[in-house]
Amino acid sequence: MRDDADGRYVVADIAGEQVWLLADRALYWPRERRLFLSDLHLGKGDVFRRAGIGLPSGGTAGDLDRLGRAIDLTGATSVWILGDVVHGAVHESAWRGTWHAWREARGGVHFAALTGNHDRALAGAGLGVELLGEALDVGPFALRHEPCEVPGLHVLGGHLHPCVAIRELGPRRFPVFWLQPRATVLPAFSEFTGGCHVDAGTRDGIVVCAAGTAAWIRRPRAEQAPRPRPRRA
């Protein structure tokens, strides 16, 4: 495994495929020129404001700026979202205009999505996103919103919003890619999300996304073959 020189991504081998883990919280599959991300949560701020909770606007534009950077960096021709494209009911709000203008500028990129637990309104939202259902297997990967066990395939999922605290950087927690032997959990793409602390196993890898940089803080350890037992003479 090697790192990109300026820290915008690290390269990892997952299920026999080379992928890039981007500081902008997306996973790129070069062989298919496909970008994966999870938990975009479009309209989340609007949902909170309609509930009477005062929040600043503009979060969608910031998230889409990062997504645009990821597309430009990788040259991806498709973006697949692993669930939770939207956060709730889809109203005629400012974020929809921002989304449509941004999508129009990216007309050559195909967008598709799995259905996540927040996506009840996605089918009728008119966002120009192909719906892939709740599960899809492609190549060595099983695409799921909620990570699970799929025999014979490596799961790519989200939902958990994995993060870690780095003692040297204070109490703040940072989003991470959580690489497990049979599953990789992507960080939440949206900046406006909470996080679940990663309880990594001894063979897991962790890539942190912080200050525009992706970096290994723990590399995955390959499974070791059992030692042969000595034979009796």
Whether residue 33 is contained in a domain is answered as yes
| Structure confidence at residue 58 as a pLDDT band (50, 70, 90) | low
Instruction: Output the domain CATH number for residue 178.
Output: 3.60.21
Domain membership of residue 89 as a residue range: 9-218
Question: Which of 57-61, 91-95, 104-108, 142-146 has the highest average model confidence (pLDDT)?
Answer: 142-146
Q: How far, CA to CA in Å, does 229 sit from each of 114, 166, 232?
A: 47, 41, 9
Single-letter amino acid, residue 10: V
Whether residue 91 is contained in a domain is answered as yes
- 158-205 pLDDT per residue, tens: 999 999 988 777 678 899 999 999 999 999 999 867 788 888 889 999
Whether residue 223 is contained in a domain is answered as no
Flag whether pLDDT at 37 surpasses 80. yes
26-40, 94-108, 116-130, range with the lowest pLDDT: 116-130
pLDDT computed for residue 49 by the predictor: 44
pLDDT > 70: percent of the chain = 82
Whether residue 2 is contained in a domain is answered as no
Whether residue 232 is contained in a domain is answered as no
- 140-153 pLDDT per residue, tens: 999 999 999 999 99
What pairs with residue 107 in β-bridges?
A: none
Single-letter amino acid, residue 21: L
Whether residue 174 is contained in a domain is answered as yes
Q: Give how far the C-alpha of residue 36 lies from the chain's centroid of Cα atoms, to the nearest Å.
A: 6
pLDDT computed for residue 42 by the predictor: 86
Task: Give the separation between CA 175 and CA 163, rounded to whole angstroms.
Answer: 4
pLDDT computed for residue 126 by the predictor: 80
Q: Give how far the C-alpha of residue 48 lies from the chain's centroid of Cα atoms, to the nearest Å.
A: 23
Q: What are phi and psi of 178, to 5 degrees?
A: -110, 105
Domains of the chain: total = 1
Note the pTM of the prediction, 2 decimals: 0.86
